[in-house]
A and B are shown apart, each in its own frame.
Chain A
Amino acid sequence: MLNLVLATKTEAEPLIEELKLKHEPAPFPFYKKDQVSLIISGIGKCRAAAASAWLGGLGAPTSVNNHQNKSGCWLNIGIAGHLDAAIGTIFTAHKVLDHGCDKVWYPPRVSPPLESENLITVDKPLTTYIPNQLHDMEASGFIETARMFSYAELVQCIKVVSDNADQPFTKIDTHLAGSLIQDNLSSILLFMDHLQELANSLNTLDTSISEEFTKKWKFSASQKVILERLLQRYNVLLEPMTAIPDELSHKGSSKDILRWLNQSVNNASHSI
């Protein structure tokens, strides 16, 4: 899953078009296609947090495998101010500071990195620029919330410089915001691909067969955890299970199933 959180429609439009996302009814402007979701939060960290929380709720866990639950990629994309970086320069954020509460996050730099910079999230536009900082209004709300749904490495912010000391912020130029994202679209798409590759590197075992088991027999919540791990072990020590084995079809209860799986993995070869 790739979850994109943007503040305004103009910033989002180049991505909606490029990724051929379709509008879907939701409390926020929301677009989706296959594994990609895009939400337009509105301006400010509270809106960014609320939109991220709503989006995170959509991907509620369907599997007990922690990696499958938490391996969604999250990107906050938007424009930002900077004292002296050229307009149109694209950065990821390697340190996000909430100006209001001084809370700090360090989004891990993922390889191959875009240039990265510190980012400060402010509640209202500042009249002066703090050196060596991107200035935005959403990142801290986004990052604090998105990290509840995924790993820190997979939660990233991409910002394109829209104003600096030479061309300071006066009011949001909607046309400029859209064209800055459009101009950097190839870099953004490349970064998305890389992030998804990183997420995919976690999903090394396919135990989707567990759904067949839970449809056919009734497992308690704790039994589902045991079932998932036994299926993983079965895949590792024996062979990937693609269908429920025939000899299990007559088993009456979930306990019988778990016992059979346990015996199978314990009788398998145990040499590294």
Chain B
Amino acid sequence: MIQTIYIEDSIREHPRTLEICQRYPNAALISCERYTSVFNSNSQNFRLQKQQPSLILANKHKGHVLPTPPDYGIGGDSNFYFSHMLNCVYDCRYCFLQGMYRSANYVVFVNYEDFLSEIQSTTENTDGAWFFSGYDCDSLAFEPVTGFMQFALERFRDMPNANLEIRTKSTQIRGLLSQPAINNCVVAFSFTPENISQALEHKVPSVQKRILAMKKLQNQGWKIGLRFDPIIYTTTLKSEYRDLFSSIFESIDPTIIHSVSYGAFRLPKPFFKKMVTLYPEEKLFAMPLTEHQSQVSFGEDTEEECLNIVHKELANFIDENIIYPCS
């Protein structure tokens, strides 16, 4: 439960601010001029904050929609991402957000209209652009509080030339099930094998619950994507992914999957360094990792072995044309 809400002065009376604050009648409301003075201040400890994150309500002034890194995508030529929220309600130990942000508090930008109008204007200059949600947060996990996706989907319905990926580990799908599926939206679920998930994906719904959520969505006509990123090396990787894929494809129809992507565990070196300081006892960080071109990973050979195994196992179920490796 949120106990503290920081509110930017400029959006103190914004209807969404009032609505979100109403959900937490016992929270302390603290005013701030700009969210950055709370979120980016020095000396914060991400790990301590993660024990009881606060909520920061803010206005995003610019950069609502940004181009993705060059190799990021699922087959489209124009790829963009946007983040109506910074930070995640889950606590995945491999997540780069721990290394990127000073604060574990959740920032929600309440000016949803500005995100959608920038998406709209970007769409006018591109053909079939993809817009990825879920880069700086989980797209659905905080949806009951923010209602952002509900808002966005209504707009995407009227933008057939724009494609939306909702990336998530959440089972908060009530909002999606309450409306007809739209053709230009993919709900992409992220997975690691069960034992990895239990060890590293704290507070995340179980693999089975996520599969069930996907099944419900697929049955209602929503396009489903599968994301296996990061792949964490273990000595039993092959059997773990074989079991994971069996569980998934026993429940959902692989022939109508929209896309599958996978990528190896890798982190920018400064992020990794900070994460080790935060969690020195974490086994994942104690394993023999290597540094190459400012990235920390399991090393080229191990990575290649992992990716080959996963690709091969995937190809047993999925048309290779819709499998996208991520680098």
Chain A interface residues (CB < 8 Å from chain B): 65-67, 94-95, 104-106, 108-111, 113, 116, 118, 147-148, 150-155, 198, 201-202, 204-205, 229, 232-233, 235-237, 265-266, 269-272
Most B Cβ at <10 Å: residue of A94, A106, A113:
A106
Nearest to B235 among chain A residues (CB) is: A271
Q: Give the residues in chain A near B44, CB-CB below 8 Å.
A: 108, 151-153
Known: A109-B28, A272-B196. Contact between A232 and B45, CB under 8 A? no
Contact digits for B118-135, partner A, Cβ 8 Å, 1 yes 0 no: 000000000000000000
Mark contacts of B182-216 with chain A using CB atoms, 8 A cut-off: 1 yes-contact digit, 0 otherwise: 00000000000001100110000000000000000
Q: Which chain B residues in 123-182 approach chain A with CB under 8 Å?
A: none
With A and B bound together, what is the CA distance between A109 and B288 in angstroms? 38
> Which residue of chain B has its CB nearest to the CB of A266?
B288
* Selected contact of A111 from candidates B51, B196, B284, CB within 8 Å: B51
* Bound Cα distance from A269 to B287, whole angstroms: 9
Given A106-B32, A108-B54, 16 further pairs, Cβ under 8 A: A104-B32, A104-B33, A110-B52, A151-B43, A152-B41, A152-B43, A153-B49, A198-B48, A198-B51, A202-B45, A229-B276, A232-B280, A236-B283, A270-B233, A271-B235, A272-B196
Name A65's closest neighbour in chain B (CB-CB). B280
26 example contacts (A-B, Cβ-Cβ < 8 A) are as follows: A67-B277, A67-B280, A94-B28, A95-B32, A106-B37, A108-B48, A108-B49, A109-B3, A109-B54, A113-B28, A118-B30, A151-B44, A198-B51, A202-B48, A204-B281, A205-B281, A236-B280, A236-B283, A237-B287, A270-B233, A270-B234, A270-B235, A271-B235, A272-B196, A272-B232, A272-B234
Residues of B within 8 A of A155 (CB): 43
**Is B4 within 8 A of A94, CB to CB?**
yes
Decide if B242 is an interface residue (CB 8 Å cutoff). Answer: no
The residues of A that contact B283 with a CB separation of less than 8 Å are 236-237, 272
Task: Decide: A236 and B37 in contact? CB cutoff 8 A.
Answer: no
Q: Is the CB of B280 within 8 A of A205?
A: yes
Known: A109-B3, A272-B200. A116 touches B236 (CB 8 A): no
Chain B residue at minimum C-beta to C-beta distance from A116: B28
- B45 to chain A: which residues have CB within 8 Å? 151-154, 202
Question: Does A201 contact B51, Cβ atoms closer than 8 Å?
Answer: yes
Contact between B196 and A105 (Cβ–Cβ < 8 Å)? no
One of B28, B31, B51, B286 near A237 (C-beta < 8 A): B286
Contact B286 A106 (CB under 8 A): no
Is the CB–CB distance between B287 and A270 below 8 Å? yes
Q: Tell me if A106 and B52 are in contact (CB < 8 A).
A: no
- The complex places the Cα of A133 from the Cα of B38 at a distance, in Å, of 19
How many residues does chain B have at the interface if contact means C-beta atoms less than 8 Å apart? 40
Point out the residues of chain A lying under 8 angstroms from B236, CB to CB: 271
- Contact of B222 with A by CB under 8 A: no
Contact of B30 among A106, A205, A265 (CB under 8 A): A106
Looking at the complex, which one of B3, B6, B277 makes contact with A106 (CB distance below 8 Å)? Answer: B6
How long is the Cα–Cα vector from A94 to B63 in the complex, in angstroms?
30
In the assembled complex, which residues on chain B have CB atoms less than 8 Å from the CB atom of A154? 45, 48
Q: Nearest CB to that of A109 among chain B residues?
A: B4
Q: Are B4 and A265 in contact (CB under 8 A)?
A: no
Instruction: Confirm or deny: B113 has a beta carbon within 8 angstroms of a beta carbon on chain A.
Output: no
- Rounded to whole angstroms, the CA-CA distance of A265 and B44 in the bound complex is 31
Determine the residue in chain A with the shortest Cβ distance to B277: A66
Q: Which residue of chain A has the shortest Cβ distance to B198 in the bound complex?
A: A272
A75 to chain B minimum Cβ distance, whole angstroms, is 16
Q: How far is the CB of A103 from chain B (nearest CB, A)?
A: 10
Q: Are A106 and B41 in contact (CB under 8 A)?
A: yes
CB-based nearest A residue for B38: A106
Q: In the complex, what distance in Å separates the CA atom of A113 from the CA atom of B1?
A: 13
The interface residues of chain A lying within 8 Å CB-to-CB of B234 are 270-272
Among the interface residues B43, B199, B282, which one has the most CB atoms of the partner chain A within 10 A?
B43
**B288 and A265: CB pair below 8 A?**
yes
Tell me, yes or no, whether B47 is within 8 Å of chain A by CB: yes
Q: Does B22 sit at the interface, judged by CB under 8 A?
A: no
The distance from the CB of B219 to the nearest CB of chain A, in whole angstroms, is 33
* A242 and B307 alpha carbons, distance in the complex (Å): 39
A236 near B49: Cβ-Cβ < 8 Å: no
For B298, the closest partner residue in chain A by CB is A270
A-chain residues with CB within 8 Å of residue B28 when the two chains form the complex: 94, 109, 113, 116
Asked if B321 is at the interface (CB within 8 A of a chain A CB), the reply is no
Q: Which residues from chain A contact B48 at a C-beta distance below 8 Å?
A: 108, 151, 153-154, 198, 201-202
